[in-house]
């Protein structure tokens, strides 16, 4: 049975980093940067026994804005609804119920997020970004 936790003390930073360092969105991220991003975010982890098999984090001010990031489930557990459950658990947190603007970026998981009420940006031309190649690999 999969269990979920929002407790930072339960997050297995080594396992999370091992996944992120090979992901398309955080390729080559140094451990200390990944750790800082996790410590300073609202998190949820998915666990099979003592093994962390999924993770998601939310960067938020808990008042007006939330950015969903680093959502993953280890491949052998994919297709079981674990990613959806983690996102739903973040969306349901009582302290986030008044946050009106939630965003995320994904290369290929639009159908997953659409099922959870997310929509494409109505005016993507209004969005801007600054990206720095600080890990040695340009993000996709």
Going along the chain from its start, the domains and CATH numbers come out as 2-121 (3.40.630.30)
Note whether 79 and 53 are within 8 A (CB). no
Q: What is the pLDDT of residues 26-35, one digit of tens each?
A: 999 999 999 9
Q: What is the pLDDT of residues 85-128, one digit of tens each?
A: 999 999 999 999 999 999 999 999 999 999 999 999 999 899 98
Note whether 140 and 25 are within 8 A (CB). yes
Beginning with the edge strand found earlier in the chain, give each strand of the sheet holding 51-60 in spatial order: 2-5, 42-48, 51-60, 65-73, 101-104
Can you tell me the mean pLDDT for 65-94?
Answer: 97
| Chain centroid, CA 110 distance in Å | 14
The answer to pTM > 0.75 is yes
In sequence order, which residues have a C-beta less than 8 Å from that of residue 131 and are 6 or more positions away?
138, 139
């Amino acid at each position: 049975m999969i269990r979920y936790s929002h407790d930072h003390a339960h997050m297995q930073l080594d396992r999370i980093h091992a996944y992120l360092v090979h992901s398309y969105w955080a390729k080559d991220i140094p451990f200390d940067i990944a750790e800082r991003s996790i410590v300073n975010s609202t998190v949820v982890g998915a666990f099979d026994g003592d093994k962390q098999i999924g993770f998601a984090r939310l960067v938020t001010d808990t008042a007006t804005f939330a950015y969903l990031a680093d959502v993953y489930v280890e491949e052998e557990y994919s297709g079981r609804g674990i990613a959806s459950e983690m996102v739903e658990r973040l969306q349901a947190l009582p302290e986030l119920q008044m946050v009106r603007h939630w965003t995320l970026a994904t290369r290929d998981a639009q159908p997953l997020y659409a099922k959870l009420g997310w929509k494409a940006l109505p005016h993507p031309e209004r969005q801007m970004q600054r990206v720095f190649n600080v890990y040695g690999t340009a993000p996709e």
